[in-house]
Amino acid sequence: MFKEYSILLTFICLTFLLATIVFILSYIFSVQKADAEKISAYECGFNPFDDARTTFDIRFYLVAILFLIFDLEVSFLYPWSVCIGYLNNQGFYVICTFLFILTIGFLYEWFKGALDWE
C-alpha cells in the first residue's frame, strides 16, 4: 500500500469527525419547537404548487451520455500520453485508429445536431 496516502486517510477521518461534531452540536444546542407549519414544505412562502419532480427535456440526458463517452476517451488517452516515450510506431497508429473511430462518432453527433439546443 502507498505509505504517502496515509496522510490522506488521516484527513478523511478528521473531516468525518469534524462533520459529525458540527452536526451533533447543532442538533443539541438549537432550540427545537417544531409545529406543522414550521416543518412543512413551502415554495417561496406559499404551499407547494405541485410535485418537485417535474419532467424535463431528454436532451440533458443526451448531453450527460455524450459527456461520459468523451470523458472515457480522455481517460484512455491519459496512459498513452504518459508512456508515449517508449511506445513504438504501433502505439501511435493504434491511438490514431482509436481517435479516428471516435471522430466518426463525433461527426455523426455534430451533423445530426445532437448538441444544438433548439
Partner 1 sequence: MSSELVLFYCLASIIIVSSYIVISLKNSVFSILFLVLIFLNAAALIMMLETEFLAILFLIVYVGAIAVLFLFVIIILNVKLSEFYYSIGQYILIGSILGIIFLVQTFLILDTNIEFHFLDNIHNLYPEWNFEVYSQSNIEALGSNLYTNYMYVFILAAIILLIAIIGAIVLTIHQRGYVKRQNILNQVSRDFKDSVYYINKIVK
Based on the shown chain and the rule CB under 8 A, indicate whether residue 71 belongs to the binding site for partner 1.
yes
Give the DSSP per-residue string, the chain.
Answer: --GGGHHHHHHHHHHHHHHHHHHHHHHHHS-----HHHHS--BTTBPP-S-S-----THHHHHHHHHHHHHHHHHHHHHHHHS-TT--HHHHHHHHHHHHHHHHHHHHHHHHTSS---
Based on the shown chain and the rule CB under 8 A, indicate whether residue 65 belongs to the binding site for partner 1.
yes
- Window 25-64: contact mask with partner 1 (x via CB under 8 A): ----------------------------x-xx-xxxxx-x
CB of 17 or CB of 104, closer to partner 1: 104
For partner 1, the binding residues (CB under 8 A) are 1-2, 5, 9, 53, 55-56, 58-62, 64-69, 71-73, 75-76, 78-80, 82-83, 86-88, 90-91, 94-95, 97-98, 101-102, 104-106, 108-109, 112-114, 116, 118
